[in-house]
Chain A
Amino acid sequence: MRQEELIGWLRRIKKLALVEVGKDEEEHITKDMRKIIEFFNTLMEINVEGIEPLFMTPRKEPLTREDAPVKGMEQSEALLNAKEVINGFVKGPKTI
């Protein structure tokens, strides 16, 4: 991947992941990223045609739950770690 290409996708991915990296860090990060992506690219050497992907090891007896209600947390517990609370609501940012 060329440097411009890397910077381009970094810009896009930062917006997807909502994570910023400083301008000063950018060069360092793209250097690391390039290395890591090249490391990832070694997988291109393998022929994976016809192989079923394995996303998680198979479970013999997948667990589900009965439809029986259980009282959850008290409001005070639910809001224990929220820093801004108004009348039992969590105060959130502007949504537009």
Chain B
Amino acid sequence: MDREVLTLSGLRAKLAENPKFLYEYIEFIYDVIDAVEGKVKAFITLRSKDDVLREADRVVDKLIEGRAGRLAGALLAVKDNIVTKGLRTTCASKILSDFIPPYNATVVDRILREDAIIIGKTNMDEFAMGSTTENSAFFPTRNPWDLSRVPGGSSGGSAAAVSALEATAALGTDTGGSVRAPAAFTATVGLKPTYGLVSRYGLIAYASSMDQVGPIGRTVTDVSIILDVISGRDVKDATSTHSRGGYREATVEPFKVLHPKLRVAVIEELVVGGVEKPVKHSFLRTLRKLESNGIDVIWLNMPISRYSLPAYYIIAMAEASSNLARYDGIRYGLHESVEGRPWYEVYTNVRTRGFGKEVKHRILLGSFVLSAGYYDEYYLRASKVRKIVRDSLLAILREHDAVISPTMPVLPPKLGERIADPLKLYAIDINTVLANLAGVPAISIPSDIVNDLPVAVQLMGNEFDEVRLVALARVVEGIINLAPLVPPLVRRYV
């Protein structure tokens, strides 16, 4: 397949010329899936090629008639914590392993309205709790760049599918880095929008005050096209807000929205400390490239950032313990016969059997930090730290176009390397949780290949200023000049 059409924008151009190319493209994607999915295991539920081809007929007709939507022909992989009407949605949990949603998430309605085709539902850490996609109740997903390594998480299935050419682009969700981490580890682009820019209706909640749906694609332009579609106020989500739109346009002509003299901040605490040497050196090389292209790099400190990780985990676990209370096996999900049994016994059994270990731990710890006598010490204190984090970060963002850092402090770990020790697992979220605590947008873009493994940088922007964030990301992407990257596993297809 022609490399040009691997991107969403390339595919759109091709289909505009030749609508029937869609059939060829679908055949190509399914050929790749047949060849690699058994190794990568990105999908929990994969739709049949026949179903997808049937849907393609309608899209091709629309393309021919010139009334196709902005995502016409895109084969999108959707993370399995985003509900899809009539299509099984599991959250990679045993407790929801047979859940058929009777409704669509708003983001799903929005991509379908623009004529995207959902190719399948992707693997993830159970209830999005994890950073490696090893916590799936079904199977781990593997990194297409190195099958012995994790793809990052929790949206690991979505990122791996895009990276391995099993989908045009994907939807993931990001609570503490779950879009950006797997994007970084798979050399794809992942965007976490400002909290509220994208509706959460139909996103199965992990930590409601931080969850956001975000696109994963091969280029900054691709994720911007999807952001144009999925963002904006939704009457079904009280925390959603208006979207300015124009994200794709901003990537086409970035300097229409950017100041010619760009200034990016580096928060020292995000570069020293836990960042592994190869990642750090690569990051410094990237900074030098930016500087030699006329971008000012300003180093500064944000001492409170050291505390963002525990604050994040306290808040996330507290909200998770609440959000996951509803899984009791009565109205949906894993079930046990109720006859003659008291409710607390049935509930306890279902929940004990249905939730995986990490999920149970987070529910227990979350209940603990909210319980009488501990609320002030933990949840309330963490929420105050959150306030300091947000204020400090916004202050930096007021003075700079973005904050730049390595997205992940490490190279993609081997399977099993991080998961045994919870603190080692949490530690790799150190640079991503800031954006979720503060509610600001952040994007991860591939910046390097080190030891045949992807490395990425993260740009955090001001809240509701995705227009300038994606424009800047496009500029940085151009300077780095790597994208789109194809892992060796699937290179023979392009």
Q: Note whether A and B contact each other (Cβ less than 8 A).
A: yes
* Residues on A with beta carbons closer than 8 Å to the beta carbon of B325: 17
A9-26 toward B: CB 8 Å interface, digit per residue (1/0)? 110111011111100010
* Residues on B with beta carbons closer than 8 Å to the beta carbon of A54: 383-384, 386-387, 390
A: contact size bracket: 35 or more
B299 at interface by CB-CB < 8 Å = no
B134 to chain A, nearest CB (A): 16
Stretch at the interface among B49-57, B105-113, B163-171, B306-314: B306-314
B350 to chain A, nearest CB (A): 9
Q: What separation, in Å, do the CA atoms of A81 and B384 have in the docked complex? A: 40
A37 to chain B, nearest CB (A): 8
Interface residues of B in 339-360 (CB under 8 A from A): 340-349, 351-352, 355, 357, 360
The 7 closest A-B pairs by CB, nearest first: A57-B439, A81-B332, A53-B383, A54-B387, A48-B384, A93-B338, A83-B335
A45-89 toward B: CB 8 Å interface, digit per residue (1/0)? 110100111111101111111000000010001101111100000
Q: Which residue of A lies closest to B209 (CB)?
A: A56
B130 to chain A, nearest CB (A): 14
B253 to chain A, nearest CB (A): 28
A19-B352, A20-B349, A93-B343 known; 11 other A-B pairs, CB under 8 Å? A18-B328, A19-B355, A21-B352, A21-B360, A39-B423, A44-B381, A54-B384, A57-B196, A84-B335, A92-B330, A95-B342
* Residues on B with beta carbons closer than 8 Å to the beta carbon of A46: 304, 307, 381, 385, 388
Tell whether, in the assembled complex, residue A42 and residue B310 are in contact, meaning their CB atoms are under 8 Å apart: yes
Listed by A's residue number, 20 A-B pairs whose Cβ atoms lie within 8 Å are A13-B368, A18-B328, A18-B351, A21-B360, A21-B364, A33-B361, A36-B313, A36-B423, A37-B365, A40-B369, A46-B307, A62-B238, A80-B102, A81-B331, A83-B329, A84-B338, A90-B330, A93-B346, A94-B341, A95-B343
Q: What separation, in Å, do the CA atoms of A60 and B240 have in the docked complex? A: 10
B61 at interface by CB-CB < 8 Å = no
A65 to chain B, nearest CB (A): 7
Known contacts A9-B368, A10-B364, A94-B343, A53 near B378 by CB under 8 Å: no
A82 to chain B, nearest CB (A): 5
Q: Which residue of B lies closest to A81 (CB)?
A: B332
B422 at interface by CB-CB < 8 Å = yes
Give the size of the chain B interface in residues (CB under 8 angstroms): 76
A27 at interface by CB-CB < 8 Å = no
Q: Which residue of A lies closest to B309 (CB)?
A: A39
B104 at interface by CB-CB < 8 Å = no
Q: What separation, in Å, do the CA atoms of A46 and B381 have in the docked complex? A: 9
Most buried by B among A16, A17, A33, A42: A17
Indicate which residue in A37, A80, A92, A94 contacts B100 across the interface (CB closer than 8 Å): A80
Tell whether, in the assembled complex, residue A64 and residue B352 are in contact, meaning their CB atoms are under 8 Å apart: no
Tell whether, in the assembled complex, residue A63 and residue B382 are in contact, meaning their CB atoms are under 8 Å apart: no
B82 to chain A, nearest CB (A): 17
B186 to chain A, nearest CB (A): 28
Q: Which chain A residues have a beta carbon within 8 Å of chain B's beta carbons?
A: 9-10, 12-14, 16-21, 25, 29, 32-33, 35-37, 39-40, 42-46, 48, 51-57, 59-65, 73, 77-78, 80-84, 90-96
Q: Which residue of B lies closest to A12 (CB)?
A: B371
Interface residues of B in 233-248 (CB under 8 A from A): 233, 235, 237-242
Indicate which residue in A20, A42, A48, A94 contacts B342 across the interface (CB closer than 8 Å): A94
Known contacts A63-B237, A92-B330, A40 near B314 by CB under 8 Å: yes
Indicate which residue in B103, B235, B344, B384 contacts A51 across the interface (CB closer than 8 Å): B384
Indicate which residue in A16, A35, A44, A81 contacts B422 across the interface (CB closer than 8 Å): A35
Known contacts A18-B351, A93-B338, A39 near B102 by CB under 8 Å: no
Tell whether, in the assembled complex, residue A82 and residue B346 are in contact, meaning their CB atoms are under 8 Å apart: no
Known contacts A36-B423, A57-B463, A64 near B99 by CB under 8 Å: no
Q: What separation, in Å, do the CA atoms of A32 and B331 have in the docked complex? A: 33
A66 to chain B, nearest CB (A): 9
Tell whether, in the assembled complex, residue B240 and residue A52 are in contact, meaning their CB atoms are under 8 Å apart: no
Q: What separation, in Å, do the CA atoms of A9 and B345 have in the docked complex? A: 20
B419 to chain A, nearest CB (A): 12
Q: What separation, in Å, do the CA atoms of A33 and B357 have in the docked complex? A: 12
Most buried by A among B368, B386, B438: B368
Tell whether, in the assembled complex, residue B422 and residue A32 are in contact, meaning their CB atoms are under 8 Å apart: yes
Known contacts A19-B352, A52-B384, A61 near B346 by CB under 8 Å: no
Q: Which residue of A lies closest to B314 (CB)?
A: A40
Tell whether, in the assembled complex, residue A20 and residue B388 are in contact, meaning their CB atoms are under 8 Å apart: no
* Residues on A with beta carbons closer than 8 Å to the beta carbon of B380: 53
Tell whether, in the assembled complex, residue A84 and residue B331 are in contact, meaning their CB atoms are under 8 Å apart: no
Indicate which residue in B310, B329, B364, B390 contacts A19 across the interface (CB closer than 8 Å): B364
Tell whether, in the assembled complex, residue A14 and residue B238 are in contact, meaning their CB atoms are under 8 Å apart: no
Q: What separation, in Å, do the CA atoms of A73 and B98 have in the docked complex? A: 20
Tell whether, in the assembled complex, residue A13 and residue B307 are in contact, meaning their CB atoms are under 8 Å apart: no
B194 to chain A, nearest CB (A): 8
Tell whether, in the assembled complex, residue B240 and residue A63 are in contact, meaning their CB atoms are under 8 Å apart: yes
Q: What separation, in Å, do the CA atoms of A21 and B357 have in the docked complex? A: 9
B173 at interface by CB-CB < 8 Å = no
